[in-house]
Chains A and B, each alone.
Chain A
Amino acid sequence: MNSHSSIRMFLTHLFLIVFTILTLYPVMLVVRKSLSPGDNFSRSLNPVPKELTLKHYKDVIGSRDSTGRSLFGRQFLNSLVVSLITTIMGLFLASTAAYSFSRFRFAGREIGLTMFLVVQMFPATLIMIPLYVILDRLGLLNSMTGLVLVYSTTAIPFCVWMLKGYFDTIPKELEEAAWIDGATRFSMFWRVVLPLSRPALAVTALFSFMTAWNEYILAETFLNEETAYTLPVMLQHYVGSHSTSWGKFAAGSVIVSVPIMVLFYVLQKHLVGGLTAGGVKG
C-alpha cells in the first residue's frame, strides 16, 4: 500500500467517524439525560454525564396511578400484549392470504391484489374517524382488543405483499413432489411452504411487531385512560403540552427503544429486501 492511498484511507475514516458521531450525537444526549439528574437538558454539550443517577429509570418504572397500582407495568404489558397478538394475528392472516394469492388463479385475484396494494397508501387519518365510530359502537375504545384489531388489519396489506413475493420464489416443484407423495393442500402449505419461508415470516413478524410497538397516533386517539395507554402514548405525555419531564422521557425512550432496536438489528437485512421488492412492485 503506497502512502497516497493510506492518506486517502485515513481521510475516509476521519470523515466516517465524524459523520457517525454527528449522527449518534442526539442519541447520546438522550442517554446522558436519562442518566443525569434534573428535568431539563443541561446547557452542556458534553455527551458524557457528570453525575450518574438511575432516578429517572426508577421514576418511570415505579410510576403508579392514583390507586397505587403500577402504571408502567400496566402500560408495558399493554404494549407487549397488543404487539404480540398483532404479530400472531397478522402472521396467520397474511400467510394464508399470501399463499392463496401466490398459488391459485381465482376470480377476483387481480382485484384483491390491487386492493391490498392500494390500501397500503391510505393515510391513517382517512380511516381514523370511521374507525373511531366503529370501535365506539362495538365498545372497544380504551381496550386492547380494539387496538389489536386495528393494528393487525392495517399491517396485513404489507405483510401479504411481502409474503406473496417470497412464496412466489419457492419452486412449485417442491409442492408437486409433496403432492405426489400424497400430501394434502394444507400440509403442502404447512409443512413445505411455511418452513421454507422462515426468513420472510420472521421479517413479517418483526414488521407487525414493530408497527404495533411503535404506533403512536391511533393509540393516542383511541385511548384516553392512563391504565389503557401503550408506551408511546405514555412517553409523549411526559413531554406533552402540560409537562416537560425530559429526564423521564429519556429514560422511558431508552427502555422502549432498546428491545425493538435489538429485534431490528437481528432482522434488518431481510427487511430491506422485503420492503423494496414486496412493497412496491405491482
Chain B
Amino acid sequence: MRFTCPIPTPKRITMAFTLGLSALLLAGGLFIVMRVQNKTLENTAIQDGNRLLYQAYSGKSPQSLDLAGFFILNTIPGSNSKLFNFNMISGWDHAKPAEKLSGKLNTLSETSKDKRFQALLRKAHDAGAETLSTGRYYARFESRPGKPPVLIFSIRTSPNQVSVVFMPLKKRAPSAPWLMLFISLLATIAVVFFVSNRYAPIYGVLTFACLAGLTISAYRMNPSGPFYSFLTEGFRGFGKGYFVAGWLGLSAITFALAITWFTGHASRFFRALREFRLAYTYIFPAMIGMMVLVLIPFAAGLALGFFNHCRGEFQFVGFSNFIDILSGGGSSLTNPLNFWFTLGVTILWTSVNVFLHVSIGLGIALILKDPLLKMKGIYRVLLIIPWAMPNYITALMWKGMFQQQYGAINILLDNIGIGSISWFSSFWPAFMANVITNTWLGFPFMMVVSLGALQSIPTSLYEAAEVDGASKWQQFKTITLPLLRPALFPAIVLGSIWTFNMFNVIYLVSGGEPGGATDILITEAYQWAFKRGERYGLAAAYATLIFVILYLYTKATNKITRAAEDM
C-alpha cells in the first residue's frame, strides 16, 4: 500500500538540496564578507579618528595618518544662526599641529574645486554643526566611488566649539579572516549535517574550500587596488576584477552541477516532491512562525554576541565579548561578575535543587504508594498545589515570606528565639531563600512522576522478594530504583534544564542580591542587557554560552540513556 511504506529519501534529492544550499551559502558568504569588511574598515577608521583627535589636542603630531582636513567649528556668541564660521586648515602641517589649528579662515569654495570634495566638506560641516547643537559625538564613514572612503568625525570639545576631522581611510585590510573562516566552518557543519550520507565528507570539504577560499581572497585584497570599489560600493562596482570573476566562476560551477542533475533526474525529483508535498504543506505554517520568531532571532542573538552595543550603535568586536566573559572580565574568581563564579553558583543551584526535588518527591511518593494508606487522593491533590501555581506568583509570595520585618519566616525564627535574619544581605541566606522557594515549587513534579512510575511496578515482584526474605531496603535498592530509572531519568534531565534556566525565582526572590552574587547565568545575562547599561552584545554572548552548556548537557545525557538502554 502506498502510504504504509514510506518512500525512502532519494540520495539525489539530498544532493540537490546540498547543491542549492551551497549556492545559497556562496552568495550569503560573499555578501557577509563584503559587509564585514566594510564594517571592519569603518571601525578601524573610527579608532584612527579618535587617536588623531587625541593627538592633535595633546600636541603630539598625528603620525602615519593622512588628513583630508581638520577644522574647528566656532559658534558666534549670541547668534541663533545654524550657519557657523569655521577655521579651515589647508595643508596640514604634521610637525606643528597646534599652529595650524588657528589657521586661516577659508570658505568652502576656496578650499577645493573638486565638487565631490566640497560635498564632503559640507557634510563634515553639517556634522559639526549638528554635533554642536545636539552635543552628540558624530562619526561617519563616507564611501566615494573609486576612491578611498573618508571618515567624518566630529566631537564637541567645549560649549561652543566643535572639532571636526575628515580623512581618507588608511588602506588597511583587516588583520585576519578568522570570523569568516568560522562562518565557513559552521556552514560546512550545516552541510555535513544536512547531507548525512556517505558523501557528506566530500560536500563538507567542498563547501569549506569554497567559502574559505573566497574569504581569504577577499581579505588578501588591497582595499586601494582594483577591487576596492567593489568592496566598498557593494554591487555598484560589480563586474570588476578577478574576485568577481572567481566568484562568478564558482557559482557557475555550482549551478552547472545542479542543472546537470536536474536534467538527468528531474522526473524522479518531481515525483518525490509530489509525494512530500503534503508533508511540507502540513509543516509549512509552523515552520514560517518558527523561522521568523525563533530561528531568526536566535541567529541574530548568536551574531549579536560578536558586537558591542553603545547608545543604539552596534560595533563589530569579534570574539572579544567571549574572551571577556571566559577570562572573567578582569575580576577575581570570587567576584560575582566573574563568569566562572556565576557558573559555579548556577551548577550548585541546579544540583542542590534537583537533588532536593528528587529526594523529597520520591520520598513522598514512596509513602503515598502504600496500598493500605487511605485518603491518598487528598494528599496528592493538596501537594500538587505548588506546581499548579504560576511560578512568578510563587516567587513573589516567597519574597514576602523572607521579608525582614513582616516575613513569616523571620517571625517564626523570632518566636523560636533564633532571631530574625536579613536574608538578602549575604550570599548563603540569599542562596538558601532561592533554593527553598524553588524546592517548594519543584518537588510536586518529581512526586507525580515517581508516583506514576511506582504504580507501573508490578506488586508481584515485591511479593516474590518478600517470600525470598528481602528487607525493605533491599527491595528498594534492587526493585524500585532500577525500575524507576527509565521514568525518572528523563524527568531529572528536564528538571535540571528548567532549574538551570529558572529565571523567575532568582530574579523575583533575591534579584541577584547581594551584589549579583546569587545571580545564575540566565539572570546575569538579563542584567547585562537591561540593568547594566544595555550591553546587548555581552548579554548575547552569555546566552550563547548558556545554550552551548545546555546543548552539551543534553547530548551527554542522551548518550547515557542510550548506553543504559544497551546494557
Chain A residues in the interface with B (C-beta under 8 A): 5, 9, 12-13, 15-16, 19-20, 23-27, 29-30, 40-45, 89, 92-94, 96-97, 99-101, 103-112, 115-116, 118-119, 121-131, 133-134, 149-150, 152-154, 156-157, 160, 172, 175-176, 179, 185, 189, 213-214, 216-217, 221, 232, 235-236, 239, 246, 249, 253, 256-257, 260-261, 264-265, 268, 272-273, 275-277, 279-282
Contacts and interface: CB of A to CB of B under 8 A. Distances in A.
A113 B389 CA distance: 31
Given A257-B390, A260-B390, A126 B298 contact: yes
Nearest to B526: A125
B401 interface: yes
Contacts of A272: 445, 448-449, 452
A214 B294 contact: no
Interface residues of B, number: 105
B283 A123 contact: no
Given A122-B547, A261-B385, 13 more contacts: A29-B400, A41-B400, A41-B406, A44-B411, A105-B6, A118-B551, A121-B551, A125-B526, A156-B290, A214-B391, A239-B399, A257-B390, A260-B388
Residue from A27, A116, A149, A277 whose CB has the most chain B CB atoms within 10 Å: A27
A107 B13 contact: yes
Contact of A236 (B14, B392, B544): B392
Contact of B501 (A116, A123, A236): A123
Q: Is the interface of A mostly helix, strand, loop or mixed?
A: helix
A221 B530 contact: yes
A214 B14 contact: no
B211 interface: no
A265 B289 contact: no
6 contacts: A105-B8, A105-B9, A123-B543, A150-B293, A275-B491, A276-B494
B296 A93 contact: no
Given A5-B372, A127-B301, A153-B289, A97 B283 contact: yes
Q: Nearest 7 pairs between A and B by C-beta?
A: A126-B543, A104-B279, A100-B282, A130-B300, A105-B6, A130-B297, A97-B286
A131 B9 CA distance: 35
A12 B525 contact: no
Contact of B289 (A118, A156, A275): A156
Given A97-B282, A123-B546, A275 B293 contact: no
Interface in B467-495: 487, 490-491, 493-494
Interface in B498-538: 501, 503-504, 507-508, 522, 525-526, 529-530, 536
Contacts of B134: none
A257 B393 contact: yes
A9 B13 CA distance: 67
A130 B296 contact: yes
A45 B412 contact: yes
A104 B6 contact: yes
Contacts of A104: 6, 276, 278-279, 282
Contacts, number: 273
Nearest to B373: A12
B16 to A, nearest CB: 9
- Interface on chain B toward A: helix, strand, loop, or mixed SS? helix
Interface stretch (B108-116, B328-336, B376-384): B376-384
A46 to B, nearest CB: 11
B386 interface: yes
Interface string B531-564: 0000010011011101100110010001000000
A121 B550 contact: yes
A152 B286 CA distance: 10
A139 to B, nearest CB: 15
B393 A256 contact: yes
Contacts of B302: 126
Contact of A119 (B272, B298, B412, B525): B298
A235 B279 CA distance: 44
B485 to A, nearest CB: 12
A89 B448 CA distance: 29
Contact of B408 (A29, A96, A179, A239): A29
Given A20-B383, A105-B7, A236-B396, A213 B293 contact: no
Given A156-B289, A160-B286, A16 B367 contact: yes
A238 B383 CA distance: 28
A35 to B, nearest CB: 15
Nearest to B391: A214
Contact of A41 (B13, B370, B373, B407): B407
A213 B298 CA distance: 24
A130 B303 CA distance: 10
- Name which of B194, B276, B452, B487 has the most chain A CB atoms within 10 A of its CB: B276
A149 B288 CA distance: 11
A99 B282 CA distance: 7
Contacts of B348: none
B159 interface: no
A278 to B, nearest CB: 10
B141 to A, nearest CB: 22
B283 A101 contact: yes
